[in-house]
Structure 1
């Protein structure tokens, strides 16, 4: 990895040795990420009944028995090992576009079902899943800025559900507010005005105390908001603009997805668009890739095996002010990144792998994400301009707040996760803000070994600093989810000028938020 990559990792992705990551000792970038400490070797599989998240082991499950994922899933189906051994043999599924049920002059209407079913994730195995419209890979909702989308969801499962448009600037009524459930057999309408800049958003379940399990089982899909103003940039489009949904999985002896709370170590099967370690056949030209990290706990720090940098053009809130040559793309659960890769420099037949430089899990499995196989040259008139979308100046903050994220360290026996010392209570308002004001939030990870991240509903934010230093270019645009590694302080500036009401903010490592790392703000 280049000096630029090492600087990128050292400056703003620094991890402490131990539970924050494991394995991947062969990659030079690991040493810099650990700030010179010796990288931990791959941790053993977690003990039965324990999560093993980022090295968690020995956590006491007392008091957690009523929550999903408290049963040891046991040994994995043999097809898991077969899929791992046969990496890069299955074709990457290209995500389909979900067509509206009806269209009017200004509105697209979708009828969506939340259903239980099966998916062909592992070769020769029917795995039970829970999805939107029976599609585990996640068909895409394509919206256009200024054109309204109405989605009517019917819950066909035996459990309550909920829908959140992650990254959407949405009124409380349609935000997916934890307790606004769609009961089994029921319907609920969500209306999205799409009056925000174009961006890669995504829909996922948000029902209280069960959204981690539901998202793990497949209740998620991309929502691409197109902004006609972007067309002038002439970026790769059409078939050369592809969404890659990243997640990880653990399977039981029946080949079903096995949810065990706080189990990043055990979820070592890497999926892209619903398939383990696929290969994408590309023509020798430029492609735009939209990465969506739909995993519950896993961070991805990705690089091309050729050492070729990505041209990163976008993040959570859409296009960046300017592209930059990114040696790695680093995204935590819930984050998105948009990049352009030019395959024209590679001879036909070249195979590149998309490598992952962060654990936990066996390096042989979690160290690879997918492969690209280069084919014939193709006409390409696309380009990446030197400037993209300028970030509007934010007002000076009138209020400053501090939010401390904390949970029990590995071996402590404590599975409580808190913000400012409190576990989530849906009857409590933790923060009250005045509409139209700008605030500065300092988000602190008080853990010594465990990473977190931080997601705000309703309003995007600007990253001001990370441990007192200016953010790197990948965080130069608007964001809704930010990484907060052990002992880090991240300063955010956020303006509340869209909707009033009650909205959650939380760690988007969804197992952490289900364990209590969530709170509520009220805009008045």
Structure 2
């Protein structure tokens, strides 16, 4: 690992030792409370507990700081159907722990980065300038983008240089996010802070009268590890010590809400941690969307599970709670994540959650099939796809543009209970089944990231296009992809 001790205190350890320690922890029942899918740990990461140099973060009282909402970035200029934005990646000192300034990696000096809010059919051109002193590349996660703007891991922007990324936004409304994707460094860079929301709106969504404006709240969740001086500590494959949960960059914050409906857009920006979230005392909420936008119909859920990179949107009706209520969002493993403080509503609530949300595109006939095996090699300390580590000179899948294929994903866990997930660039997909069973409502919509627990098999279907070029697919537990768990497809 690259060490940048003035920003992130880095330590190294043998991957196999970490995985073995985690597997032993799992064998002792450390993750007995795991939620479905049954084969996958819901919240823990038993393949990744480590024995790092002990550090102790200063205790922060829960719910003592307010959760901010990331600022929406305004275009620098607009011409016709194109909006032009500018973002500089740079180091900055920000207050994460109360009273302490922590140096992190940022987009535009913000932690998390600024939100880009765009509309379907309007092109966004984003000029990224690198003021970090190290190579970086921006990837729009969930974006249907030309290859030159996708953020291929080897297409880094050198220090002091800039690159324009063009996002056509020819896709349905959805909660996307952008983050660093420099190969071998994406884990450290995203952990260091290089991530932000990218929200797409469209007329179909506008017509539904879902909660909007001040009642539409993006929430970026992640875990972190701090030392006694408040410095952010990074160690590859360290799950056990990343025990501070951040919501929009703040530890266990509170957030004032009115007694009315809110749309909460969650993204799991952790490197390894899976969240299984629950609101209050088993409160039922309406899940309305996943990675690729609105579901066909709202799903009534009491908990929702998110592996790294996944997004879930829920609508919560806080009028169900008495004014003055303190409603805690909890994770099955980490405990309290944040708190919603219910106050009076100053204006009437005219929002709603309709019975029908969207029409999910029909699945075209598949003309090709592929098998993807995700595995860990403990002898050589390697994370693999189909037995291989990433090689930029090798094309692992050549696919004709417009082709629809079924991919069968298998987590060959072996003796190590290592969970994975899977994210292909360029395309969005549909989950056909998990271990032979139809997808749950949360996975029945349009997806771009899917969990594949130890021993599990997941089938997905995607149409590859509309652009040609090289694109990556990889595990989005990004400590894994930084360790080579990535492959390359070429759309021709």
- TM-score, L = length of structure 1: 0.85
Task: Report the Cα distance in structure 2 between the residues aligned to 1:473 and 1:431, rounded to whole angstroms.
Answer: 30
In the alignment, which of 281, 285, 300 is matched to residue 260 of structure 2? 285
What's the counterpart of residue 63 of structure 1? none
Moved more, 246-255 or 494-503: 246-255
Q: Which runs of 5+ in 2 are unaligned?
A: 1-22
Map of 1:432-447 to 2, 5 A cutoff?
432-447=398-413
Deviation per CA, 1:486-515, whole angstroms, max 9, x where unpaired?
100000001013111110000000000011
In the alignment, is the contact (CA less than 8 A) between 2:49 and 2:239 conserved in 1?
no
Map of 1:57-456 to 2, 5 A cutoff?
74-77=54-57, 79=58, 82-83=59-60, 86-358=61-333, 366-378=334-346, 379-408=348-377, 412=378, 414-448=380-414, 449-456=417-424
Residue 511 of structure 1 aligns to a residue whose secondary structure is: helix
What is the CA distance between 1:329 and its match in structure 2?
1.1
Residue 312 to residue 58, structure 1, CA distance change in 2 (3 Å): closer
Stretches of 4+ moved more than 4 A in 1? 20-25, 31-37
Deviation per CA, 1:322-368, whole angstroms, max 9, x where unpaired?
1010121111100101110001011111111111114xxxxxxx122
What's the counterpart of residue 20 of structure 2? none
Please state which structure has a larger fraction of its residues in strand. 2
In the alignment, which of 417, 426, 437 is matched to residue 458 of structure 1? 426
Task: Report the Cα distance in structure 2 between the residues aligned to 1:32 and 1:180, rounded to whole angstroms.
Answer: 38
Deviation per CA, 1:131-169, whole angstroms, max 9, x where unpaired?
100001322111111111111111001100000000000
What is the CA distance between 1:320 and its match in structure 2?
0.5
Task: Report the Cα distance in structure 2 between the residues aligned to 1:142 and 1:36, rounded to whole angstroms.
Answer: 37
What's the counterpart of residue 46 of structure 1? none
What's the counterpart of residue 46 of structure 2? 54
Moved more, 160-169 or 106-115: 106-115
Residue 464 of structure 1 aligns to a residue whose secondary structure is: strand
What is the CA distance between 1:33 and its match in structure 2?
4.8
What is the CA distance between 1:305 and its match in structure 2?
2.1
In the alignment, is the contact (CA less than 8 A) between 1:446 and 1:487 conserved in 2?
yes
What is the CA distance between 1:58 and its match in structure 2?
7.2
What is the CA distance between 1:394 and its match in structure 2?
1.4
Task: Report the Cα distance in structure 2 between the residues aligned to 1:34 and 1:187, rounded to whole angstroms.
Answer: 43
Deviation per CA, 1:246-280, whole angstroms, max 9, x where unpaired?
01101123312111000111111000000000011
Residue 214 of structure 2 aligns to a residue whose secondary structure is: helix
- TM-score, L = length of structure 2: 0.91
Residue 22 to residue 130, structure 1, CA distance change in 2 (3 Å): farther
What's the counterpart of residue 471 of structure 2? 503
Q: How many residues are matched? A: 467
In the alignment, is the contact (CA less than 8 A) between 1:298 and 1:333 conserved in 2?
yes
Task: Report the Cα distance in structure 2 between the residues aligned to 1:518 and 1:403, rounded to whole angstroms.
Answer: 11
Residue 381 of structure 2 aligns to a residue whose secondary structure is: coil
In the alignment, is the contact (CA less than 8 A) between 1:73 and 1:260 conserved in 2?
no
What is the CA distance between 1:56 and its match in structure 2?
3.3
Residue 429 to residue 473, structure 1, CA distance change in 2 (3 Å): same
